[in-house]
Amino acid sequence: MTTRHTGASAPTTVRELAIEGAFEFTPTVYPDRRGLFVTTYQRPRFTEATGHVFPVFQTCQSHSRRGVVRGVHYTATPPGMAKHVYCGRGRALDFVVDLRVGSPTFGRWDTVQLDQEHFRSTYLPVGVGHVFVALEDDTTMVYLMSGPYVAENELAVSPLDPALGLPVTLDGVEPVLSERDVAAPTLAQALEAGLLPDYEACRALEAAL
């Protein structure tokens, strides 16, 4: 007999990350002889944790080979953007970086391992930066986004900034970055240039989601 599961029956545990407003969600995975079933996003559980609904505007996904580093990416604020990210295949070390000027945790980061076994996800509130390093070939990351992708609004800070100290370089593997990420400013340079989002403005936009 095959057990049938619905999204409503799949409990999810929540952990608040070290960055204010960022969360890790760990769903219950139901394996059986066919494979598995998992609910990667639960609106009631998300709303209970964050205090608001996540308004999904679009979903995207990326495929990366081992050693690929994508980030530290963020959206100019306003308009700002929140993201809900999980790994559908492979394994990645996912980082949440606080880029919000005036935040009590400005310049700090926290990390979660995302994989196809536990299907954890991270929630990045408005103004928070995102970067990950693929730990396996054919790692697929799925993004739920609260707004549209507009190229001129998408900004980056260098993931190799020594002041941040992000452990994104794998042993024996040269990190693979896009030209955009290679040329990205350090956190200090972005701050001096006025490119980073304001904490209070981010909180106001977050509350309006």
Q: Enumerate the active-site residues.
A: 73, 143
**CA dihedral over 29, 71, 17, 146, signed as positive or negative:** negative
The burial class, CB within 10 Å (0-12 / 13-18 / 19+), for 6 is exposed
CA distances from 23 to 92, 119, 124 (A): 17, 14, 7
User: Long-range contact list for 205-209, CB < 8 A, 24+ apart?
Assistant: 205/77, 205/78, 205/79, 205/80, 205/126, 205/127, 206/21, 206/52, 206/80, 206/82, 206/125, 206/126, 206/127, 207/51, 207/52, 209/52, 209/53, 209/54, 209/55, 209/82, 209/126, 209/146
Q: Which residue has the tokens 């928070």?
A: 128
Cis peptide before 78 (omega within 30 of 0): yes
Phi and psi (nearest 5°) for 103? -70, 145
